[in-house]
Amino acid sequence: MKAVSVRQPWAWAIVAGHKPIENRGRRTHHRGPLLIHASKKYDRSGHHFIEEALGIQVPDDLPSGGIIGQADLVDVVDGSISRWFFGPFGWVLANPRRLPFIEVRGQLGLFEVPDHIIAEPGRLGITEGEGQ
């Protein structure tokens, strides 16, 4: 399954349902499910922006270095009135959801997370016997 690595606290803001757009330097043709990977680097200025400018309290202890959730990538735009859009491209996300933490090494751009890592029963809401 495709994944994208995002610095905390932005990754948390996506899976918590606050941030419907992920800003990127390039477009992607991918549409559909997208795992959200929290990178090991933390964006302190992003933390300040989320709390001060947007009035959203960021939790103190955010996981990093793995998959923390999933969303559906539904569009890519080059402009938006969203307070989350900084461009140059915005990956429009829908249906965000948290997942149990899965330690995975992040990569630049979109990357594949092997099915066997996420296919354990219950990982993505699939129960034993479904999807097999």
Q: Tell me: the pLDDT tens digits for 8-22?
A: 999 999 999 999 999
CA 108, 109, 110: angle at the middle one, nearest 5?
A: 120
Q: What is the CATH number of domain 2-118?
A: 2.30.130.30
Other CB atoms within 10 Å distance of the CB of residue 70: 23
pLDDT at position 117 is 76
pLDDT at position 120 is 60
For residues 93 and 77, give the distance between their C-alpha atoms in angstroms, rounded to a whole number. 11
The structural domains of the chain, with segments of one domain joined by +, span 2-118
Identify the segments of the chain with pLDDT beneath 70: 120-132
pLDDT at position 53 is 84
pLDDT at position 126 is 40
Single pTM value for the model: 0.85
Q: Are 9 and 43 in contact (CB under 8 A)?
A: yes
Other CB atoms within 10 Å distance of the CB of residue 40: 12
For residues 49 and 57, give the distance between their C-alpha atoms in angstroms, rounded to a whole number. 11
Nearest Cα neighbor of 14 from 43, 30, 35 is 35
Q: Are 90 and 14 in contact (CB under 8 A)?
A: no
